[in-house]
């Protein structure tokens, strides 16, 4: 079947930002509606889609976006705005439904949430159900896919699991941590969404989708702990912790905003598991099978494990895997990353600065407070680390894989960038990166940039970083100044 003309609303969101490029790969022509098209500026696929600026609450904007489309994906949720988000979501859905019917759209696709039948639902789930019902009633063939917790870096539900598990060695939690959930990997959600564009026109209704594992919510936290290399967390159910109090707690100990945490926590008051498998007759599961929870977590944290942490000074290319973070993801998504960044303008040439950078460590030292470096090296040796004794292979040149004291060369772009990965004993993973480039006017001098990066492991990692902030300020400030000063002293 030839590609269809597709509109994606919510392309700056978590699911929409991953769906748009996959629809392009499937041969469809894609248009996206965004209130702020600037948020799509840095994604790799923005030049391949038609971007329409508009607001779903303005009927004229919606009609303009829907005109000429065959399929409309409605992937916008308003809970991040707080307040009466359910009224806003319902108004948006009615605008989409009316515009789609008037434009002769062949299919609407909506991603809703798994929910039990016959129970009083949380505000969040009730809003999802109401939106789905409004779209199903609009007169256009509609496919509502009802999914549980979506597992992928950047998903609000997954980020809440990630940060709660990493920050808290002991988890006081409400009774509903024992409720059942059926997580689904983001790659599997996208599989169903892409296939939904070409299902037969007579398909109309709501269908459950979910991964192969049914878990208690507490088990999702400890499953994450295992994959992240953390001890499993004791969880103590507390009968007095209401959803409101729990959302305040989540807001306090994680970067997930309270406006998002509260509706998500409200949804956990119910068992949310797949009740029927009718979707299998419409869309077959992925050929390799649905992704288990632990495997989905592995994929979500694989980017950080590989050290690909957006740590180059140049803009990274957009992520290719659906579990990877995107430029349009919210700032609180992804693993916690601490950094200390310094920058200097200097009259020294880029070549002179690079010679100093490439000779760092070993006999040359680290250009800052030798006593502190020695103490840190001794401490590392005492706990079984490598300390400062390894030195370096060549006093002037480095190549990938070389050791430099307790660091290992991870990347070299000769004359431009050097990245070292720490092999000392720390509760997390650490890098230090040096970059050299011509001055802005490119006529004289250069710009030196330096960044230390730390990915903490659990609460111990966070405490480690914050305890060293004063020392880091002295060490890294002096390092940047001394490297530039040494380069300026070099003869031309």
CA distance 106 to 409: 55
Indicate the range of 61-65, 139-143, 245-249, 396-400 predicted with least confidence: 245-249
Other C-beta atoms closer than 10 Å to the C-beta of 94 total 18
When pLDDT is cut at 50, 70 and 90, the band that residue 386 belongs to is low
* pLDDT of 259 above 90: no
pTM of the model: 0.74
Q: Which two tokens stand for residue 129?
A: 């159900």
CB-based contact 108:100 (threshold 8 Å): yes
Classified as helix, coil or strand, 376 is helix
CA distance 191 to 390: 49
Q: Which two tokens stand for residue 114?
A: 């798994």
Q: State the SS3 of 225-272.
A: HHHCCCCCCCEEEECCCCHHHHHHHHHHHCCCCHHHHHHHHHHCCCCE
Q: Which two tokens stand for residue 320?
A: 């290719």
CA distance 207 to 277: 8
Query: What is the pLDDT at residue 319?
Result: 41
Query: What is the pLDDT at residue 237?
Result: 67
| pLDDT, average across residues 437-464 | 86
Query: What is the pLDDT at residue 352?
Result: 94
Q: Which two tokens stand for residue 161?
A: 């699991």
pLDDT tens profile 295-330: 999 988 875 555 444 333 333 333 456 666 665 666
pLDDT tens profile 108-140: 999 999 988 888 888 888 899 999 999 999 999
At 204, phi and psi to the nearest 5?
-155, 120
Residue of 146, 141, 62 lying closest to 108 (CA atoms): 141
Pick the CATH number of 5-305 from 1.20.200.10, 2.40.30.110, 3.40.50.720, 1.10.645.10: 3.40.50.720
- Full DSSP string of 115-142: --TTSPPPHHHHHHHHHHHHHHTSSS-E
The domain locations on the chain are: 5-305, 338-489
Classified as helix, coil or strand, 317 is coil
> Strand 142-147's sheet: what is its strand order?
50-53, 29-34, 5-9, 71-74, 107-113, 142-147, 205-208
Residues contacting residue 38 through CB under 8 Å, at least 6 positions apart: none
Q: Which two tokens stand for residue 404?
A: 């430099």
| Residue owning tokens 């009633």 | 137
Query: What is the pLDDT at residue 207?
Result: 97
If one compares 379 and 358, the residue with the highest pLDDT of the two is 358
CB-based contact 437:350 (threshold 8 Å): yes
Residues contacting residue 219 through CB under 8 Å, at least 6 positions apart: none
Indicate the range of 271-285, 286-300, 441-455 predicted with least confidence: 441-455
Classified as helix, coil or strand, 60 is helix
| pLDDT, average across residues 73-84 | 73
In 97-225, DSSP assigns E strands to: 107-113, 142-147, 150-151, 171-174, 180-181, 184-185, 205-208, 215-216
Domain 338-489 has CATH 3.90.1150.10: no
* pLDDT of 81 above 60: no
When pLDDT is cut at 50, 70 and 90, the band that residue 228 belongs to is confident
């Amino acid at each position: 079947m030839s590609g269809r003309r597709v509109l994606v609303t919510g392309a700056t969101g978590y699911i929409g930002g991953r769906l748009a490029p996959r629809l392009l790969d499937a041969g469809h022509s894609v248009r996206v509606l965004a209130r702020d098209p600037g948020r799509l500026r840095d994604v790799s696929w923005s030049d391949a889609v038609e971007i329409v600026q508009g607001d779903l609450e303005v009927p004229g904007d919606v009609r303009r976006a829907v005109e000429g489309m065959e399929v409309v994906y409605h992937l916008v949720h308003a809970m991040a705005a707080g307040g009466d988000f359910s009224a806003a979501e319902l108004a948006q859905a009615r605008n989409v439904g009316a515009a789609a019917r008037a434009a002769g759209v062949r299919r609407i696709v909506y991603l809703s949430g798994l929910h039990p039948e016959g129970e009083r639902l949380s505000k969040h789930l009730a809003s999802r159900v109401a939106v789905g019902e409004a779209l199903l009633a609009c007169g256009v063939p509609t496919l509502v896919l009802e999914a549980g917790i979506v597992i992928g870096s950047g998903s609000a539900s997954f980020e809440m699991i990630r940060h709660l598990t990493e920050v808290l060695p002991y988890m006081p939690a409400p009774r509903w941590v024992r409720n059942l959930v059926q997580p689904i990997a983001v790659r599997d959600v996208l599989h169903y969404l892409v296939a939904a564009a070409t299902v037969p026109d007579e398909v109309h209704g709501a269908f459950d989708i979910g991964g192969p594992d049914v878990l208690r919510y507490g088990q999702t936290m400890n499953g994450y702990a295992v994959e992240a290399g953390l001890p499993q967390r004791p969880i103590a159910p507390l009968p007095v912790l209401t959803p409101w109090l729990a959302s305040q707690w989540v807001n306090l100990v994680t970067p997930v905003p309270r406006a998002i945490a509260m509706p998500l926590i409200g949804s956990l008051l119910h068992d949310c598991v797949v009740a029927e498998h009718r979707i299998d007759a419409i869309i077959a599961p992925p050929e390799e099978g649905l992704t288990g929870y632990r495997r989905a977590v592995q994929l979500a944290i694989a980017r950080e494990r590989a050290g690909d942490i957006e740590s180059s000074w140049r803009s990274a290319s957009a992520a290719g895997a659906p579990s990877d973070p995107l430029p349009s993801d919210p700032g609180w998504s992804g693993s916690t990353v601490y950094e200390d960044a310094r920058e200097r303008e200097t009259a020294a040439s880029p070549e002179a600065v690079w010679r100093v950078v490439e000779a760092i460590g070993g006999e040359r030292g680290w250009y800052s407070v030798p006593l502190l470096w020695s103490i840190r090296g001794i401490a590392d040796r005492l706990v079984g680390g490598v300390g400062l004794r390894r030195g370096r292979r060549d006093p002037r040149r480095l190549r990938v894989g070389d050791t430099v004291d307790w660091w290992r060369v991870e990347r070299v772009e000769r004359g431009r960038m050097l990245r070292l990965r720490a092999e000392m004993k720390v509760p997390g993973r650490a890098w230090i990166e040096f970059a050299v480039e011509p001055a802005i006017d490119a006529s004289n001098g250069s710009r030196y940039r330096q960044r230390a990066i730390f990915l903490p492991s659990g609460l111990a990692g966070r405490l480690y970083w914050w305890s060293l902030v004063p020392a880091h300020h002295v060490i890294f400030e002096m390092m940047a100044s001394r490297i530039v000063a040494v380069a300026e002293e070099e003869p031309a």
